[in-house]
A and B are shown apart, each in its own frame.
Chain A
Amino acid sequence: MPSSAPVRAESFARSKTDSAHTAPTAPSATAQLEDEAITIFREVAAECERPVLLFSGGKDSVVMLHLAHRAFWPARIPFPVMHVDTGHNFDEVIEFRDRTVADFGVELVVASVQGSIDAGRVREDTGPRASRNPLQTVTLLDAIAEHRFDAVFGGARRDEERARAKERVVSHRDEFGQWDPKNQRPELWGIYNTRHRRGEHLRVFPLSNWTELDIWRFIAERKVDLPSLYYAHQRQVFRRDGMLMAVNRHVRMLEGEQPFEATVRFRTIGDATCTAAVASSAFTVDDIVAETAVARITERGATRADDRISEAGMEDRKRQGYF
């Protein structure tokens, strides 16, 4: 568990209302990145009619929610949040998700991959290595169409992956949800072109210029509450493809795979079938900041089975509308 006591958004808001204290003038570690993200949130909220923020309970989406809160304070966040739910969740994360949206007073839309499967919109792969992760694209695009969302805030960062390093902050999607990486709109200065036709939408990435370390610096400095999975804990795991997969009801072990107990934490949290843990003794947020600063392997390389598909795996999925 984090060393610092979790602080909830509503209690933030209340303490701010009455106090006339002065914020420190020294810039915080991520002050400039925070200002940039807040500027992006406000710009898109001003120019788009129906934005939505993707919220999974993962650390990047939690940071996004905190930044949105900061952008519009003391008003409430003027858009709902949406979770694209594969149904293969860690229980702690769902509990955290529901508690957090209640604290922030935002509306939660759940777009269910199980719903897409039941409706015959997608077909699920079978077998022990099957993952619902790629199916999320259809569920996401259906939900965007159903709710007529015209701007979708995502927590993707350019440092995560090479195709993402190329993406604009405000990124246009056609009526099929497709990204055209060879014909992106030029994006100069801080001027964002949010124009789009009906049926098209924008993906907006306020954390574009953040690194994994910046995320942790923000979490440390702002005492951001996270699912406990991010901190080192004892857990039953097994080894697969050189990664430590958590033993859980959504994943079937193959022959020869043996469960064992280890001290681990998660660097990313996604679908329980394809997110791996890392061996770590980082029990507090300060431990993680230090561990991240010297990390020698990218977070996706260390923990995402689905990114190992091919050299252009992410680009191909993004072209089709993946987040």
Chain B
Amino acid sequence: MTLADLLEDGVAAKRAAPLRFATVGSVDDGKSTLIGRLLHDSKSIFEDQLEHIEAVSKKRGSDYVDLALLTDGLRAEREQGITIDVAYRYFSTPHRDFVIADCPGHVQYTRNAITGASTADLAIVLVDARHGVVEQTRRHSLLMSLLGVPHLVIAVNKMDLVAFSEARFDEVRQEFSEFAARLDLRDVTFIPISALAGDNVVERSTSMAWYQGPTLLHHLETVYTASDDNLIDVRFPVQYVVRPQRAEHRDYRGYAGTVAAGTLRPGDEVMVLPSGLTTRIERIDTADGPVTEARASMAVTLLLTDDLDISRGDMICRPHNQPTPSQDLDAMVAWMDSEHPLSLRKVYTLKHTTRSVRAMVTDLRYRLDVHTLHRDDSVSQLELNEIGRVTLRATSPLFADDYRHNRVTGSFVLIDEATNQTAAAGMLRTSG
């Protein structure tokens, strides 16, 4: 490519936010091969990286270049041939930038898969066409549903091993759809692929004329995510109070933070929680000067018309659209502490947006079987990688939204105060 081509392609020009997608599945499903294929066919592997993994593959007596070596960055992962922790990888096409969160598939590393899924716009779940929907497919799909990943792709892989059979693809789709009816999945796309041969990954397959849909990369490039943000409920957690205390900004008092949802504009009437006092937005500052509006995920500083007592952890919203302040919380939690299971009435630090409180679990309502979706209400504790529905009591109110409506103001973590470990990930329910 020449510079002229690049400029024409817009590589050097302005670009939209990247698509963040998670891949889940084990080595056997061909996940690493798929990522390698995406990176390779989109020309995103650097020559020294490719030379390196070619040399290592050869040294190990492998017949083919093991593309998994690209993503498995830790010594233990290469030794065991499995993915233990999430690896983040970056690639671009002329149409979009991408961040891949390559997640482990093994059940013992579920907490790391959840970490990768928590910020994903889309998840690719790999299914082996020969085996169809298996236990692992169900677990991964449940996790993606629980974490509220807006778009799911079921990549039916190894189609070459089932003679590129349309009937087999339809069976797998049917099987998955029956299971998925019980999940909260908004958008599911099925794509028949062969990661090893490259069919329908970047290049359209010549062996599956019956498939009229997009290739995987085309789908990733075009999936519409702008409507995934919550544009309605204005939420601005105050993160940091900016007081320059310099002669030229003597009276400056700004409330810095990142917009969690909705759009803020100068002149808007706003309410500050917990005080419940109302005022107006005087100005929205950035280091480039004032802006006319601030949308979700923008980091800005608000200046308010009235001089109110506001500090970190307060929530700015609209007077007629407030989160529910509550000390009693209903949530799904995924347990992440390998040494200490969830214990009832133990006090944890709960971090929700920019607000930290202390909280204890007063009731474990049920444990969710991640394979059958069965709710077991006879349990009294949750261990590593288990998921349950709990009731919590906090020392002071949280300004909570339902996770299904807002992934930022609906999520929290529990931190063990003795070990400082992140013990659990929580997703709030404010209704149903």
Is the C-beta of B298 less than 8 angstroms from some C-beta in chain A? yes
Residues of B within 8 A of A25 (CB): 291-293
Q: Does A188 contact B (CB under 8 A)?
A: yes
With an 8 A cutoff between CB atoms, is B422 at the interface? yes
CA distance A24 to B7 in the complex (A): 21
CB neighbours of A173 from chain B (8 A): none
B246 & A75 in contact (Cβ 8 Å cutoff): yes
Say yes or no for A32: interface residue by CB 8 A criterion. Answer: yes
Q: Which residues of A contact B (CB under 8 A)?
A: 12, 16-17, 19-23, 25-29, 31-32, 34-36, 38-39, 42-43, 45-46, 69-76, 158-159, 161-166, 172, 181-191, 193, 195-197, 208-209, 211, 213, 217, 286, 289-290, 293-298, 301-302, 311-312, 315
- Once the chains are docked, how many angstroms separate the CA of A293 from the CA of B43? 11
Q: For residue B170, give the distance in angstroms from its CB to the closest CB of chain A.
A: 36
How far, in whole Å, are A188 and B78 apart by their CA atoms in the complex? 25
Q: How far is the CA of A79 from the CA of B139 in the complex (A)?
A: 45
Identity of the chain A residue whose Cβ is nearest the Cβ of B257 in the assembled complex:
A42
Enumerate 13 A-B pairs (CB-CB under 8 Å) in ascending A order.
A16-B288, A31-B17, A31-B298, A35-B298, A38-B258, A73-B287, A159-B90, A162-B74, A190-B119, A190-B408, A209-B88, A286-B12, A293-B6
Q: How far is the CA of A35 from the CA of B246 in the complex (A)?
A: 25
Known A-B contacts A293-B11, A315-B74; the reply to A188 vs B292 at CB < 8 A is: no
CB contacts (< 8 Å) of B244 on chain A: these are 74-76
B18 to chain A, nearest CB (A): 7
A184 to B115, CA, bound (A): 11
Q: Tell whether, in the assembled complex, residue A74 and residue B242 are in contact, meaning their CB atoms are under 8 Å apart.
A: yes
What's the tally of chain B residues with a CB closer than 8 Å to chain A?
A: 83
Please, which residues of chain A bring their CB within 8 A of the CB of B415? Answer: 193, 195
Which of B47, B86, B257, B289 counts the most chain A CB atoms within 10 A?
A: B289
Provide the residues of chain A in CB contact with B302, threshold 8 Å: none
User: Which residues of chain B are within 8 angstroms of A184 by Cβ–Cβ distance?
Assistant: 85
Q: Is the CB of B289 within 8 A of A23?
A: yes
Chain A residues within an 8 Å CB radius of B235: none
Q: Which residues in window 147-173 of B have CB below 8 A to A? A: none
Bitwise interface map of B from 246 to 271 toward A, beta carbon under 8 Å scored 1, else 0? 10110010001110000000000000
Of A45, A158, A286, A294, the residue contacting B88 (CB under 8 A) is: A158
Most buried by B among A28, A45, A162, A184: A162
Is the CB–CB distance between A166 and B411 below 8 Å?
Answer: no
Q: With the chains together, A31 CA to B299 CA distance in Å?
A: 10
Q: Which of A17, A295, A315 contacts B75 (CB 8 A)?
A: A315
Please, which residues of chain A bring their CB within 8 A of the CB of B115? 186-188
User: Interface centre among B240, B292, B420, by most A CB within 10 Å?
Assistant: B240
Flag whether B368 is at the interface (Cβ < 8 A). no
- CB <8 Å contact, A163 and B425: no
A237 to B125, CA, bound (A): 50
Q: Is B318 an interface residue (CB 8 A)?
A: no
Q: How far is the CA of A39 from the CA of B258 in the complex (A)?
A: 7
Q: Name the interface residues of B84-125: CB closer than 8 Å to any CB of A.
A: 84-90, 92, 99, 111-112, 114-115, 118-119
**B280-309 CB contact bits vs A (8 Å, 1 = yes)?**
000001111111110001110000000000
Q: A72-B256, A163-B73, A191-B412 are in contact. List 16 more A-B contacts (CB 8 A).
A: A23-B289, A31-B17, A31-B298, A32-B18, A39-B258, A73-B242, A74-B252, A158-B90, A188-B411, A188-B422, A189-B411, A191-B352, A197-B420, A290-B3, A290-B6, A293-B6
Q: Is the CB of A301 within 8 A of B46?
A: yes
A23: which of B291, B312, B349 is its contact (CB, 8 Å)?
B291
Residue B336, interface by CB 8 Å: yes
Inter-chain CA distance A215–B349, complex, in Å, is 36
Tally the A-B contacts, defined by beta carbons under 8 Å: 207
Interface bits B404-432 vs A (CB < 8 Å: 1, else 0) = 00011001110100001110010000000
Contact bitstring B49-74, A, C-beta under 8 A = 1, else 0:
10000001000000000000011111
Q: How far is the CB of B147 from chain A (nearest CB, A)?
A: 9
Chain B residues with Cβ below 8 Å from A293 are: 1, 6, 11-12
Chain A contacts of B422 at CB under 8 A?
Answer: 185-188, 193
Q: Which 3 A-B pairs have the closest CB atoms?
A: A162-B73, A301-B48, A70-B287
Name the one of B11, B75, B349, B353 contacting A195, with C-beta atoms under 8 angstroms.
B349
Residues of chain B contacted by A213 (CB below 8 angstroms): 92
Give CA–CA (A166, B292) in the complex, Å: 38
Measured CB to CB, the nearest residue on chain B to A47 is B356
| B14 interface hit (Cβ, 8 Å) | yes
A35 touches B299 (CB 8 A): yes
How far, in whole Å, are A298 and B408 apart by their CA atoms in the complex?
35
- Cβ of A301: which chain B residues have Cβ within 8 Å of it? 46, 48-49
A291 CB to closest chain B CB (Å) equals 9
| B375 located at the interface, meaning its Cβ lies under 8 Å from any Cβ of chain A in the complex | no
Which B residues lie within 8 Å of A295 (CB)?
A: 46
* B205 cross-chain contacts in A, Cβ below 8 A: none
* Known contacts A46-B239, A188-B118, A296-B47; is-contact A26 B85 (Cβ 8 Å): no
B258 engages A35 (CB within 8 Å): yes
Q: Which residues of A contact B99 (CB under 8 A)?
A: 209
Known A301-B49, A315-B74; contact A22-B291, beta-carbon cutoff 8 A: yes
Indicate if the CB atoms of A166 and B74 lie closer than 8 Å: yes
Query: Contact at A42–B239, with CB atoms within 8 Å?
Result: yes
Across the two chains, which residue of chain A brings its CB closest to B84? A182
Chain A residues with CB under 8 A of B371: none
A99 to B100, CA, bound (A): 39
- Give chain A nearest CB distance to B278 CB in angstroms: 25
A74 to B351, Cβ gap below 8 A?
A: no
Nearest-Cβ distance from residue A209 to partner chain B, whole angstroms: 6
Residue of A at shortest CB range from B100?
A165
- In the complex, the answer to whether B421 meets A185 with C-beta atoms within 8 Å is yes
A27-B74 contact, Cβ under 8 Å, with A71-B299, A296-B47, A297-B46? no
B248 neighbours in A (Cβ, 8 Å): 17, 74
Does B76 belong to the interface (CB within 8 Å)? yes
Q: Give A314 Cβ to nearest chain B Cβ, in Å.
A: 9
Interface centre among B291, B349, B354, B412 (most CB of A within 10 A): B354
Q: Are B239 and A166 in contact (CB under 8 A)?
A: no
In the complex, are the beta carbons of A195 and B420 less than 8 A apart? yes
B-side contacts of A16, CB under 8 Å? 287-289
